[in-house]
Amino acid sequence: MRRKATPRTNARREKALDALLSGQTIAAAAESAGVARCTLHRWLEDVGFRARLEARSRELRRHAQVRLVGLIDRAVEAIEGALILGDSRVALAILRGVGVLTDAPPKFAESDDPEIAARQSEQDKTMLATLADIRRRAI
């Protein structure tokens, strides 16, 4: 029989969620929340608790993705700067990433939007043709 959740229990559950989402182990999260490890294991078996954990995890990932998208220009500038300075590790990483140094075709992002997917498909074809040309010239 499940006990009725009290404000104190709810606060402890939230602390446990916060700790788990920050990367703590179950033992550490239980300690942070002030509960026994077996209690946290029991909560993790609870559908509602598990759903809350997964929902908050998805939200954290979405937030991180939004922040990372905002940093794309700075990342490209940093890569350009490294290439200008002759950083061969960066150059090799880029070549591997786009598939120039492997026989496997590069993996491109896909969109659920049909118009965007069609444009990406055309861009992918152009990129693959360019990569094939680079490979031919490198051999």
Which tops the pLDDT comparison, 101 or 27?
A: 27
> Is it the case that residue 109 has pLDDT exceeding 70?
no
Average pLDDT along the chain: 83
Model's pTM, two decimal places? Answer: 0.55
Tens-place pLDDT, residues 4-48: 678 888 899 999 999 999 999 999 999 999 999 999 999 999 999
- 113 Ramachandran zone, left/alpha/beta (phi>0; psi -120 to 50): beta
Q: What is the pLDDT of residue 138?
A: 58
- Please state, as a whole number, how many other Cβ atoms lie within 10 Å of the Cβ of residue 98: 17
- Please state, as a whole number, how many other Cβ atoms lie within 10 Å of the Cβ of residue 29: 23
Q: What is the pLDDT of residue 2?
A: 59
* Contact in structure between 100 and 131 (CB atoms under 8 Å): yes
Q: What is the pLDDT of residue 100?
A: 67
3-state secondary structure of 39: helix
